[in-house]
Amino acid sequence: MDFGLTEVQQMVKDTAARFAEEELKPKAAQRDLEHQHPAEACRALGELGFMGIAVPEEYGGAGLDYICYVLALSQISRGDASVGVIMSVNNSLYCFPVMTFGSDEQKKAFLTPVASGQAEGCFGLTEAGAGSDPSAMRTTAVLDGDAWVLNGEKKFITNGNVASYAVVAAVTDKAAGYKGISSFIVDLQNTPGFSVGRVEDKLGICASGTAELVFEDARVPKGNLLGKPGDGLKQMLTTLDSGRIGIGSQALGIGRAVLEEALGYSQERIQFGKPISAFQAIQWKLADMATSLDAAELLLLRAAWMEDNHKHFEKQAAMAKLAASDAAMSAAIEGVQILGGYGYCKEYPMERHMRDAKITQIYEGTNEIMRLIVARNLLKGK
C-alpha cells in the first residue's frame, strides 16, 4: 500500500496551498464581513483548473482525478471556506451530474463554461418540505410541446444567487412517486419565468451565497432533460455521494485552519511564565485535533480513490463526510477554547472557523443521515 502522492497530485496540493496562503487568507475576513461573493478568486481558480478538476480537458476541465480534488479543495477551504464550498458545488454538484449523465451536446453547451470557471453552477434539489427526504419534493415539470414547464421553489441553494446554470430536480410523474422525478439542466440567465428569491443571512460561509430558486411557468427546452424521465432521484443520490467527498474536504480544510491557528497561538501565548503549549491540557487538545483530522483525511482519500476506480463508494463517502465534519466542528470548539477570549472575537479568524464548520455537519446530507447510510450499507453486507 502506497501512501505517497504522484508528482501531479503533489503539484496540485502545493499550488492550492500557495493560492490559499497568498490569495485567500488575506481577504477571507473582509469577504465574510461584507458577505462578498469572491468572483475574482473563482475566476482565478478556473484558470488553475480547480473549478472542474475531474472534467476532461475537452469540456474545459483539468482532466485530473478525485484524489487531486480532495487535496486541492481541502487547501482552498483552509484559506477560505466560502470559496471552498463554491468550488465544491461547482465540481461535485453541477459538473459531476452533467458529465456523468449528460449527452455530448449537453456537455459542450452546459459543462464547458462551468468547468472552465467562466461561470458558476448550482444544484437544485432541496425544498422547504424536502430536505433529507427528497422524494417529498413539490416542484413540477410538465411537457408542453418543445419545452418542459417548471413550477416550484428550491431552497438553500449554494451559488444560487450567482450561478449561470443549474441542475434542477422536478416531479414529472406524480403517480410514480420517487420514480417520477427527473433532472433538468437550466440556463438560469436565459430562462423566462425563473428568478432568484430570498438570499439567506447565514451563521457562516458568509461570502458564499445561499438562495432560493423560483420557477413560475419557466420553460426549459425539451433537450435539457438530463438522462431519461424518472432517472432524477437516482441521479441526485449518486451526485450527493460525490458531493460528500467535496464537503468532507471543505470540512478538513476548516479543521486544518483551526489546528494551524491554535498551534501558533498556543506557542505564543504566555501564562504562568511559559507558553500555554507547555501545559498538558492544551497538548491533549492539539493532539486530538490532529489525530481526528488525519483520520478524516485518510477516509476522504479512500473514498476519492474508490470513485476514481469506479467502485461503489456510498458508504465510504458518508463515512468520510461524517468524520471530517465532526472533526472540524470539534476542533473549532476546542480552538476557540484554546484562544480563550480572543477565540470569541473577530480580531482572530477562529470564531469564523467555528461558524463555518457547523454547516458541514448539515448540508449534503445531515450527519444523522450519514449514519443511516453507513448503517444501511452495513446491514446489506457492504
Decide: residue 271, CB within 10 A, 0-12 exposed, 13-18 middle, 19+ buried: exposed
The catalytic position among 261, 307, 314, 364 is 364
Grid coordinates representing 41 are 478568486
The tally of CA atoms less than 13 A away on the side-chain side of residue 186 is 33
Is residue 334 part of the annotated active site? The answer reads: no
- Beta carbons within 10 angstroms of residue 260's beta carbon: 14
**Pick from 163, 45, 3: nearest CA to 94:** 163
CA distance 333 to 351: 9
Return the active site residues: 364
